[in-house]
Amino acid sequence: MTGDPFASMLAPMFAQLRDQNLWRRREVRSSPQAPSVQMDRETLLSFASNDYLGLANDPRLVEAFCQGARRYGVGAGASHLLGGHTRAHHELEEALAAFAGTPRALLFSTGYMANLALLTTLCPRHGQIFEDRRNHASLLDAAGLAQGDRRRYRDVGGLRRALDAAAPGGLVVSDGVFSMDGDMADVPALLALAKAHGAGLVLDDAHAFGVVGPEGRGTPAAYGLGYDPALVHMGTLGKAFGVFGAFVASSADVVEALIQRARPYIYTTALPPAVAVCAQAGLALAIAEEHRRVELAERIRQFRTGAAQIGLRVLPSSTPIQPVVLGDAARALGASRFLRERGIYVPAVRPPTVPKGSARLRVTFSAAHSRDDVERLLGALSALPGDVV
């Protein structure tokens, strides 16, 4: 046989995705992250980034990155355990532990890798994992890779029933702020249930750190919770902090277990030291510049007030993630195209990222957005054709 075997294998999948309006397309951005971006040679007002505090192109972070590169070069050159762990990494971990209020913190290249490391290290084979159905894909994949006994729940009541029906122990796993719906998990209830069952709580706070709670210290801090060794906290550095990377903040034992056993930590090159230098600068700015969180909260309130006035179905959320639910994928794509024609970039989010029948515009806000930016978005949304809304 001759020819391309992959073409024939993949053709049915490609056809199905296109038929169901689920084909994904990358946009090419040629400008820094900002409210106004150059996307595929167009200038667009963007409501699509996770740059919640508007730090991704801050000149001070650019300079910090350059200084880090001048001191350490552009690559770590090795894994953390084989000579790639620099003073920059170490100081960032210490700063992140202090920020999260935990004894230790450990750096990872991505949140995906951090979540894979956590569940495969902390859950023994066939151990119990209780996971929220709306968890980020990285947590769902991590539970599968851990080969745990997975039990899914929809809410706190569902978790209580699942725990009551199971043997003691295990891991309760949840997003802190759900990435597609934007609402916050009831962390005090999750933690209390986990501890009563002899389980630990793994919390992915990627969309909360820098934004939610006093000084942006995350969802536990927003609920007034202090350090608890039963809680393992994961956060990312590429959203509110404007840079790249991820971290786990927890007890000394959990961090040491990850260093000793976590394959996504042991068997990968360390984050570039210049990124660590830049991330520490971003963390310091996020803590110090409270006005960014104030501005962001104002833009969110402005949008929600305006959306209610024009009758949009926006899910309950006080965070920068404001989902406008439209139903099927074709409708969401149509709404995204309508906005694009008016110079506004809001991608459509479709299954399997969200459940079938809940395709949406995932509107995200930044402290860098102005009142006029939000009014322009609301004006365009108010003009959506009836067959879309």
Residues 6+ apart with CB under 8 A from 357: 327, 328
Distance CA 139, CA 350 (A): 19
Annotated catalytic residue 126: no
| 389 — pLDDT class (breaks 50, 70, 90) | low
DSSP letters for 154-198: SSHHHHHHHHHTS-S--EEEEESB-TTT-PBP-HHHHHHHHHHTT
The model's pLDDT over 30-40, given as tens digits with 9 standing for 90+, comes to 999 999 999 98
Name the catalytic one among 46, 49, 179, 317: 179
Fold of 59-288: Aspartate Aminotransferase; domain 2 (3.40.640)
pLDDT of residue 1: 54
Mean residue pLDDT of the chain comes to 95
pLDDT of residue 386: 76
Rounded to a whole number of angstroms, the CA Rg of the chain reads 21
The model's pLDDT over 308-326, given as tens digits with 9 standing for 90+, comes to 999 999 999 999 999 999 9
pLDDT at 194 over 70: yes
The model's pLDDT over 236-269, given as tens digits with 9 standing for 90+, comes to 999 999 999 999 999 999 999 999 999 999 999 9
Quick count: other Cβ atoms within 10 Å of Cβ 246?
A: 27
Assigned token pair, 359: 């395709």
Annotated catalytic residue 179: yes
Question: What's the maximum distance between 2 C-alpha atoms anywhere in the chain?
Answer: 66
In which residue are the tokens 């209780």 written?
130
Domain boundaries, the chain: 23-53+290-382, 59-288
| 41 — pLDDT class (breaks 50, 70, 90) | confident
Whether 288 and 139 have beta carbons less than 8 Å apart is answered as no
Q: Is the peptide bond before 352 cis (omega within 30 degrees of 0)?
A: yes
Name the catalytic one among 239, 250, 358, 369: 239
Residue, of 124 and 334, whose pLDDT is higher: 334
Tell me, yes or no, if the two domains 23-53+290-382 and 59-288 fold the same way: no
3-state secondary structure at position 202: strand
Quick count: other Cβ atoms within 10 Å of Cβ 40?
A: 13
pLDDT at 60 over 70: yes
pLDDT of residue 273: 98
Class of domain 23-53+290-382: alpha beta
Q: Let me know how long the chain is.
A: 389
Residues 6+ apart with CB under 8 A from 152: 130, 131, 132, 133, 162
The model's pLDDT over 362-384, given as tens digits with 9 standing for 90+, comes to 999 999 999 999 999 999 999 99
Name the catalytic one among 197, 207, 233, 369: 207
Annotated catalytic residue 8: no
Distance CA 35, CA 310 (A): 23
Mean pLDDT over 173-200 rounds to 97
In which residue are the tokens 């949406």 written?
360
